[in-house]
Amino acid sequence: MTMTNPYAPPRAIVDDVAVADERTLLTDRGARLGAAILDGIIFTVMVYLPLIFTLMMADSTDSAGAESSATGMVVIGGLLTLVGAIAWCWLSILYVSRNGQSIAKKLLKIKVVRSDGSRASLGRIFWLRNVVNGLLSIIPAYGIVDVLFIFGESRQCLHDKIADTIVIKD
């Protein structure tokens, strides 16, 4: 007759689970910089380029004395700029709300999540990462301090720490 010892420690078979190191999931600093630069280029092409082109064309027609064509160019350019701004806003809101990505982050396959790995909401990204950070940028040298935080061990900029977010590979 086999009896179990009631005083024996419990026994369980436990499989080792390989947990991915958070450092391997974090996006490298170069990819974040590339995404910021690429977002700026995309915004410039979609919004500023039509505006600049229109203003240059209107100025050249205005000097020739054709006032009505200059007004037409300004109206067309204004509409193109407005369409570009609306398209940029729509794409940005769409990607951020779906997966925590800007247009460039989507192209570079990186995304913003909460520091615990859960999904970051559109409100958190918009208000804490962008609006609060924008208001704080009024403080002289804040922009430099914000960016220099990326060189810390956690690879978080100051706006990431404020919003409790990290940027990971998608």
Q: How far apart are CA 107 and CA 117, in angstroms?
A: 21
For the entire predicted model, the pTM comes to 0.78
The values of phi and psi at residue 111, to 5°, are -150, 165
Strand partners, 165: 114
Model confidence pLDDT, tens digit, residues 17-63: 554 555 558 999 999 999 999 999 999 999 999 888 888 877 765 55
Residue-level pLDDT at 53:
84
Q: How far apart are CA 15 and CA 24, in angstroms?
A: 22
Q: How far apart are CA 93 and CA 31, in angstroms?
A: 21
